[in-house]
Every structure is written in C-alpha cells, then in structure tokens.
Chain A
C-alpha cells in the first residue's frame, strides 16, 4: 500500500503525452470501435427511440393527439403527487448526503491517521454490496423488533417500539446510505486536486483553520460538490428498490409507478410517457442547476 492519496483526478486524456502522431486516426484502428458503438446504438439509443415513438403514438382509446395524451398523464393529480414526492426524495437525499459526505471526504483526503485507509474502504466497499442487501439491512435496523428499537427498549428510553419503517424518512435514510459513496468520491477528487501549498499560504498569512476552510478549501472544492450533488440527485430520481422496500407502499415515486404501469397494469403507452417524463424532469432540473451554477460563478468572478 504505497500510496493512499486518491488519484481519481487523473483522467485518460492527461496520461498520454501529446504528440502529433496520436491526433490522427488511422482508418485501420477505427473498426475496433465497431462492437462498442454497435452495442450503444442498437441496445441503448434505438430502444430509447422506441420509447419516444411509443409515447408519440395516438391513444387507441380516445384517438387524441400525442401531446394531449402527454398532458393528460402529466397533469393528473396523481402524477403530480408522485412528482412532488420524487423531487422531495431526491432533494432531501442530496442535501443529507452532502452534509454527511463533505466532512467524510475532507477527513479521507486530509487525515494523516494510519487507519484512514480502513475508513476509505468502509465508505466505498458498500458500492460492491447488492442494493437489495443494503436496503434489507435497514429493515433489520429500523424495524419494530429491529436493532434500534431493541437498543432503545433495553435502555428504557421508550416503552414501546418506535415505528420508523415505511416512512419518507426511512426512505431518505436508505437512499443516502446507497448513494453516499458517489458524493464522497466526487468531493474527494476535488479536494485531492487542491494544492496543499495554497492552504498553507493562507495559514501562514494568519487565517485560522476555519477561515482557511471557508475562503480557500470550500470554494476550490465547489466543482466536486456540484458534481456529486448532480450525480446523487439524478440517481435518487430514478431509484426504485429503496422506496419500494423502505417506503412500503407509502412512498410512491415515479419509478415505482412506471414499474406498475409496465408490468402490473400493462399499459405500456402510459408507462412510456411516464418514463419520458421522468427522464425529462431529471434532465430539466440538472440543466437549471447547471445554469444556476454558471450564474453564481459569473457573479462571484465579476
């Protein structure tokens, strides 16, 4: 274990030395791309185009226009309720993951402790554990006869088990657990790129630890924070397992409804419309977010 310094920042493009030979693409090597591009085209882009096509067909029952069908799906009060729950879930998950993840990322990058590596593995190894197992674990922690209630009852803090399971809060908790590694990784990459000498200079010039963090470290890691938030948000928007298991039918989100439309109600057209709506909504929020960030950056720069 020679190096503990995270080197996520190093990217493909930085590694190769820049020489003119590499810039031209000889036709001989291009065929190597064919299988990969073929997979992307046939198994990813084409099926997505089929969803759009299905969503755009006229409703066989009412023969209404596709746009009015889309409007009818989106504007129904039920879908509106799903939308607000989905957005609230994604926002809360992102905020909690950021609040918990930033100090952790800071610790992992800056600590000189010998045990830091262990903490690093503990934070990231869950990525390799099935999401079903991780969510199941929360049922065992939060259930009426779960670990948390066993503890509280034994300590006589409560006299009867607290009901945590099958609530919005439980769902956020489970999702944060699932998505935290992405947030931590993203922030770590940004923190690791900061030249330690910049912080050192601030300290030498008399800034205390807090001021150094507030005015040097935090702004310099903003990109990692922004990236981590975008990633966690979009993954939370499409999450299915955690709301289904920890929400127990009480937390209905767009993803759970899409599953029901496709495989239980078997109304593929509505399912396709809802899928397009979910993808579009996620994209829209991320675009607005990117725009806002650029605005903030310009404001600070000017």
Chain B
C-alpha cells in the first residue's frame, strides 16, 4: 500500500505529532465503547471498573429479565423483515437509477437520511395512529423499511453501476430474455453488493432509536429502547452486560464483512 505514495517525498510521511494525535483520538473513541466489557464484570452495583475481583452476576441478571430477551426477538424480527423488504424495493430502484442514471431519483431516495429522525417519527405516529399501526410489529417494520431504503439504494446503485453493461447487452444480442439476463448475468455479479447492502440495512435497523421511540409499545419494544428504558429507572452493570452482547454481535458482523467484502466499501454513507 505504501508503494506509489511512499515514492513521492511530499507524502513520505505525516508529521510525527499527527501520528501521535491520531492514536490518542483512536483511544478516546475506543474507550467509551469498550468500557462496557470490564464494567459488566463488576461484582458491585456501581458503573466503575471492577477493583475487587469480578463476577458474572449481571449476565445472570440479564437472563433473569425476560424483557431483554423478548426485545431481542422483536429487534431481530423487525430488522430481518425490514431488511428483506428494503433489499427488494431498493435493488429494483437501484437498477433503474444505475442503468439510466436518474440523478434526481438518486437524491430523492437519500432524503430520509438527511431528514431529522425525530420529525419523521412524529409524522409516522400521526399517520399510523388512526390505522392501528402504532405499537405493532408491522408499523415498526414499515418505519424501518423507509429508514434502511436509502442505504440499500446507495449501495446497490454503486454495485450495479460497477458492472459493465456491455455484458447484459451481449447476452441480449445472443438471444437471452430480460429475465435470463437478470438471473444469469446481473444476479451473480451483484451478489456481493447485495450482501453488503443487507448487512448494512440490518445494522442500521437494529440500532435505530429516534423514529422507533414514537412507535414502540410494551410488547413491541426494540432492544435499544429496552436498554434506554431500563436506565431511566436504574443504572447498574446489567445494561453493560446487555451492551457487551450487542457489541459482540457488531464485532462479529464487522469481522464477517471485512473478510468477505472489505470494510471500506461500506462507509459510502449518506
């Protein structure tokens, strides 16, 4: 990786202080995320690093709270359904956007990302209430479908645009129907993009908070909201233990993505 850059004196290296700064900042970013691991092992009820031994009592406490497990189920259901629907609708739209370069639509599909989530949550609450969709899994899935759609369209449009469309043309000239072209040419080529978009959509949905908070009910509480509600009443290392579980899922996904597609493609972002 150093090859081309290393050869030019202007880019030989960054100043030493900048390197030191970068690693201090990395530590400052990582510590508040990783701190939940030692705190979750604290034998006492304070949110501090364990000083006298460690214990797994807070993990046992999580298991004793069926609400957390129930929320995990709700979250997985909502995210899986929203991701599936989003991949379907988003990939179809992305195909048209990428192949016919419709820039206006490209921007239109990104709108929900830039819009204040709280305002969108209010809008959905007002819209869903008379339809009976508030506090229902269905309402949450529809909300998450809108939230994840921009990420899917963006990722899939990039993936589809990177495929040489001569391939499709050649197949058509050779007599393949539109369906066969999609099935045998386009589908295998966009598969990695589909995986990447799917994982991204799932994580965005799984972590979503500001819109969901207007739509959840006692039986349909997603995991981030369950943690939030728990700390409203009591702050003890139980939430640290839940956070470690969430973190483990994220780390697993990040490693998986890094091994299969590479992380950088990932953060094309809004």
Contact = CB atoms under 8 A, between A and B. Distances in A.
A169 interface: no
B196 interface: no
B79 to A, nearest CB: 12
B191 interface: no
Nearest to A253: B118
Given A129-B33, A278-B118, A47 B126 contact: yes
B14 A32 contact: no
Given A43-B124, A275-B123, A35 B88 contact: yes
A120 B1 CA distance: 14
A113 B19 contact: yes
B203 A146 contact: no
A7 B262 CA distance: 12
Interface in A170-193: 177, 180-182, 185
B233 interface: no
Contacts of A50: 123, 126-127
B5 interface: yes
B267 A141 contact: no
B12 interface: yes
A191 to B, nearest CB: 12
Given A112-B2, A125-B254, A133-B246, A16 B98 contact: yes
Give the bracket for the number of chain B residues in contact with chain A.
35 or more
A210 B247 CA distance: 41
A40 B96 contact: no
B189 interface: no
A255 interface: yes
Contacts, number: 316
B32 A140 contact: yes
Specify the main secondary structure of chain B where it touches its partner: helix
Interface in B46-63: 46-49
A11 B107 CA distance: 12
B117 A238 contact: yes
A22 B114 CA distance: 29
A288 interface: no
A299 B231 CA distance: 52
A37 B111 CA distance: 12
B99 A29 contact: yes
A203 B8 CA distance: 11
B69 interface: no
B153 A36 contact: yes
A272 B145 contact: no
Interface in B195-243: 203, 206-207, 209-210, 213-214, 223-224, 227-228, 231, 235, 239-240, 243
Given A13-B161, A40-B149, 19 more contacts: A1-B262, A6-B264, A15-B161, A22-B165, A32-B92, A33-B96, A36-B109, A36-B149, A44-B111, A48-B120, A111-B18, A126-B33, A130-B223, A132-B224, A133-B33, A140-B47, A150-B49, A177-B32, A182-B270
A-B pairs with lowest CB-CB distance, top 10:
A238-B116, A36-B93, A137-B32, A47-B123, A47-B127, A35-B89, A15-B161, A32-B92, A107-B22, A130-B207
26 contacts: A16-B98, A16-B165, A23-B101, A25-B96, A29-B99, A35-B93, A37-B93, A40-B149, A44-B112, A47-B123, A50-B123, A107-B14, A107-B21, A122-B26, A122-B29, A122-B30, A123-B25, A128-B203, A131-B224, A138-B32, A140-B47, A143-B47, A145-B46, A196-B8, A259-B214, A272-B122
